[in-house]
Structure 1
Amino acid sequence: MIGTIPTRTAGIIRATALRLGVAPAELAAIPGLDPALLGDDLLRVPTESVWRVWELIDAIAGPGSGLCATAQADRGGLRVWDYLFSSGATLAESVRTAFEFRAVVTDPAVGWEVVEDGGLLTLRAQRFEPERVLAPIEEYAMSSVLRRMREATRSHLVPVRVAFGNQAGDRHGQLVDEFGTSRIDFGAPRSELTFLDAGALPTGTDPQLGQILQHYTRLFLASSRPAPGWRDTLRATIARALAENNLTLTAVAEQLSLNSRTLQRRLAEQGTGWREEIEAVRYEQAVNLLQTTDLPVQSVAVRLGYSDARALRRAFGRWTGQTPDAFRRDAAPARENDATRVTPA
C-alpha cells in the first residue's frame, strides 16, 4: 500500500479543490481521481495524484489552504480512523492505535510516533511529502489530529508547542486560531504537536469496543486494493459506450469530464491513440465472448460494433492470426476441463 492513499481521503481533498474553485477539467486530468472510483472506500489512489491536487489547492488558497480540507473532514468523515482516537483507555494509548492504523487515511510511508516524557506528550511525524506540497499537507494532517484528540477527550486541548517542517512562516497567522497557541515554529526537523498533562486523559471508551474497532480496521486494510489506472478507466468507459451504441470520441471524453482535444492529448502522452484503445477493448471482449458463450460469430460482431462477421474476422486475424471459429475450437477443450475438474477434498 506504500505509494497510495485511500479514496476516502482523496475524495475529501478533491472536494476541497472544487469548493475553492479548481476547474473540474484540471482534476479530471489527474490519474486515479475519477469520481466513480472515489465512492469505493476499499480503493487506493496514487499518492502523487493527491500531491498534485494539493498543489492546485495551495495555488488558489495560499496560507491556511490545508485547513480548508480539515473543515471538509468532520467527525466520521474519515470513517473508522476517527473512532480509533477513543479506542483506548487513555488518550496516549488511543493515539498510538490511530497512528498504527494510519494506512486507512494516508500513505503508510508517513511515519508517526508518540513520545511520553514526564507530563509531556509529543506526536511526531517524519517529513515524507515533497517541499512543494509540504505546507498545506502539514496544516491538514496536524489540525485533523488535533481535532480528533479534542473530540475523543471532549476538551479543548491546546498544544504547548506546534512545529512544522515547512519554511512558510507567512502562514503563522492562519494557524494560531486553529491550534490555540502562538507557539508555532517553522523549519523544524519534524512536524510535532506537544501537549502538557494530556496523555493520561480518559477517552471514555469501552475496551471491548476498542478491540472490535481494531479488528475491523485490520480486515478493512486487508481488503483494500489499488484503484484502476487511467487507461483502465478509459477502457471501461469505451466498453460502456460500445454497449450503449454510443462509441464516439466526444461521448467518451464527456464521460471522463474531458473535451475531445484533451483526451487525444492524454492518449498521446500514454503512447497510444483512440483507434488503438478501441481495438484493445474489442479484442478483450471478443476473446471473452468466444470463450464463454455460444453466440454465433455474427452476433459477436454486432456486440462489438462491427457491421458484419467479415469485419470481425479480419480484425481477429490481425490480433491472433486465427479466425474466430478456430479460436473457439481451440478454447473448447480448456472450457470442458474447467467444467469437469474436481477439486481434491
Structure 2
Amino acid sequence: MIEYTVSSHMARVVRDAALRAGVARSELAFLPGFEPETLADPLLRVPTASVVRAWELITHAGPAGAGIRTGETAAQGRLHVWDYLFTTAGTFADGCRDAARYLPTMTDPGVDMTVVEDDRRLTITYGIAKYAPAAVTAIDEFAMAIMLRRARDARGPSVVPVHVALAHEAPKDHRHLIEAFGTRAIDFGARANSMTFLDLDAQPRRPPGPDDELALILRRYADNLLENARPAAGWHGTFRSVVAGALGEELSLELVAQRMTMSPRTLQRRLSDLETTWRDEIESVRHERAAALLRETELPVQSIAGRLGYTDARALRRAFQRWTGQTPDAYRRTAIPGT
C-alpha cells in the first residue's frame, strides 16, 4: 500500500532542492524516509509528510521561485520511468495520458492528473492537496514547471503554454513565473493547477514502430514498479515522527494533519483504526522523547521541557512522574550510571 507516499526519486529531487536553498543536512536527516539507503532504492516509498516538510523548509530558507527552479532544473530521468513515459510516446497527447495513468510511480496516489483535448488545445490539470499552506506555493509551481520541462523535453525548447492556472493566491510579484512559463496568461486562485498547450500534435502520428514497443516496455515496467513498491516506514511510525518534530511548536492536530497531507478528520479516523487517540499518542511521544533526551543528552530539565512543548519544567516533572513513577532527575541517575 503506497498511499501517503512518494517515490524515492521525487524525494531526492526535493532533498537536492532543499540543500541548494541552504537547508541544513541535519534538518533533513531526521525526516522519515530521507535516509541515504531509502533514497537509493527505487522500490522504497518516502512518506509524503517528509517531502512536504522539506518543501516547508525550502520555503522558509529560500527566496520566491524555489519550486520553479527545481522543476526547470530536474533533467529528464530524475523522476525515473515517469519521465520517459511522458516524453517518448508517439504523440504529446499519448505521453500526457501515460503520465497521468502512471502518476503514482512519481508522487502520492492521492494527487490527480487529468488530460483534456478540445479541438487543437490540450490541457493538463494537476491537483495538489491543500493541507500544507506553508509549502503550497512552491509545490504548485514545481508541479507546473515539471510539466513544462517535460513538454519541452518531448517537443523542443520553444514550447510555450497558451494558458497557466495556479491554485495558490497571486504573489505580490510574479515576474519570475512570466519568465519561466513564457506567457502572461497566468491565473491564480484556481481550483487546480493546469497548463494548456496548442497544436503540439500538429504533425500526423507516425506509423507503429520501435518506439511503440518501447512504450509497451515502459508501461510494463511501471506496472511492476507499482506492484512491488513499499513504504519505507509504516504509517504509524511516520505519524509519530511528525509529532516528535512538531513538539516544540504550536502542536495541534491540524498542524500534524497538514504535514501528513491529510485532513484532520482523516487523521483522527486513522488513529481510531489503530485503537488509539490523539491525546494518547502525544503523551506517548512526549514520554519517549523525554526519556531519550534524559539518557542521551546533558540538557537541563527546563530545556527538555521546552523541546517537548511544556510551558515549564514543573509540567514535565509532573508528567514524567505520572509515566514512570520517577522524577526526571531520578530517571537520569538510574539510566546513566555515575550521574
Give TM-score, length-normalised by structure 1: 0.65
Comparing 24-33 with 181-190, which one deviates more in the overlay?
Answer: 24-33
Per-residue deviation, 1:36: 2.5
- In structure 2, do the counterparts of structure 1 residues 271 and 211 end up closer, same or farther at CA, with 3 Å as the change threshold? same
Question: Match of 1:216?
Answer: 221
**How much is the aligned-residue C-alpha RMSD, in angstroms?**
2.8
Question: Match of 1:293?
Answer: none
Question: Match of 1:193?
Answer: 195
- In structure 2, do the counterparts of structure 1 residues 64 and 157 end up closer, same or farther at CA, with 3 Å as the change threshold? same
Question: Match of 2:155?
Answer: 153
One-letter identity of the residue aligned with 2:6: I
Question: Match of 1:295?
Answer: none
One-letter identity of the residue aligned with 1:135: T
Residues 153 and 202, structure 1, Cα contact 8 Å, conserved in 2: no
Question: Match of 1:263?
Answer: none
- Residue aligned with 1:108, SS: coil
Residues 54 and 136, structure 1, Cα contact 8 Å, conserved in 2: yes
Question: Match of 2:122?
Answer: 121
- In structure 2, do the counterparts of structure 1 residues 121 and 270 end up closer, same or farther at CA, with 3 Å as the change threshold? farther
The CA distance in 1 between the partners of 2:38 and 2:110, in whole Å, is: 23
Summarize the alignment of residues 41-60 of structure 1 with structure 2, pairs less than 5 Å apart.
41-60=42-61
Per-residue deviation, 1:268: 5.5
Residues 124 and 196, structure 2, Cα contact 8 Å, conserved in 1: yes
The CA distance in 1 between the partners of 2:200 and 2:73, in whole Å, is: 26
The CA distance in 1 between the partners of 2:205 and 2:42, in whole Å, is: 27
Question: Match of 1:206?
Answer: 211
Summarize the alignment of residues 256-275 of structure 1 with structure 2, pairs less than 5 Å apart.
269=286, 271=288, 273-274=291-292
Per-residue deviation, 1:72: 4.3
Q: Identity over the aligned pairs, expressed in percent?
A: 40
- Residue aligned with 1:113, SS: strand
One-letter identity of the residue aligned with 1:3: Y
The CA distance in 1 between the partners of 2:204 and 2:219, in whole Å, is: 18
Question: Match of 2:20?
Answer: 19
Summarize the alignment of residues 3-152 of structure 1 with structure 2, pairs less than 5 Å apart.
3-130=4-131, 131-152=133-154
The CA distance in 1 between the partners of 2:128 and 2:204, in whole Å, is: 30
- Residue aligned with 2:100, SS: helix
Per-residue deviation, 1:169: 2.5
The CA distance in 1 between the partners of 2:156 and 2:177, in whole Å, is: 21
4+ long deviations beyond 6 Å: 202-205, 230-233
One-letter identity of the residue aligned with 2:199: D
Per-residue deviation, 1:225: 0.5
- Residue aligned with 1:157, SS: coil
One-letter identity of the residue aligned with 1:271: E
The CA distance in 1 between the partners of 2:193 and 2:235, in whole Å, is: 33
Comparing 164-173 with 137-146, which one deviates more in the overlay?
Answer: 164-173
Per-residue deviation, 1:168: 3.4
One-letter identity of the residue aligned with 1:184: I
Unaligned runs of 5+ in 1: 234-266, 278-345
Residues 172 and 184, structure 1, Cα contact 8 Å, conserved in 2: no
One-letter identity of the residue aligned with 1:156: S
Unaligned runs of 5+ in 2: 239-283, 296-339
Per-residue deviation, 1:129: 3.6
Residues 87 and 97, structure 1, Cα contact 8 Å, conserved in 2: no
Residues 72 and 149, structure 2, Cα contact 8 Å, conserved in 1: no
- In structure 2, do the counterparts of structure 1 residues 232 and 150 end up closer, same or farther at CA, with 3 Å as the change threshold? same
The CA distance in 2 between the partners of 1:49 and 1:109, in whole Å, is: 16
The CA distance in 2 between the partners of 1:14 and 1:222, in whole Å, is: 25
One-letter identity of the residue aligned with 2:143: A
Residues 121 and 199, structure 1, Cα contact 8 Å, conserved in 2: no
Per-residue deviation, 1:30: 2.0
Question: Match of 1:169?
Answer: 171
Q: Deviations over 1:225-277 (max 9, x none)?
A: 000369989xxxxxxxxxxxxxxxxxxxxxxxxxxxxxxxxx964736459x9
Residues 3 and 47, structure 1, Cα contact 8 Å, conserved in 2: yes
- In structure 2, do the counterparts of structure 1 residues 27 and 35 end up closer, same or farther at CA, with 3 Å as the change threshold? same
Aligned residues: 245
- Residue aligned with 2:164, SS: strand
- In structure 2, do the counterparts of structure 1 residues 70 and 86 end up closer, same or farther at CA, with 3 Å as the change threshold? closer
The CA distance in 2 between the partners of 1:207 and 1:164, in whole Å, is: 34
Per-residue deviation, 1:155: 4.8
Summarize the alignment of residues 322-333 of structure 1 with structure 2, pairs less than 5 Å apart.
none
Per-residue deviation, 1:178: 1.4
Q: Deviations over 1:166-204 (max 9, x none)?
A: 003235111112111111111111111011112455787
Residues 22 and 62, structure 2, Cα contact 8 Å, conserved in 1: no
Larger radius of gyration: 1
The CA distance in 1 between the partners of 2:109 and 2:203, in whole Å, is: 27
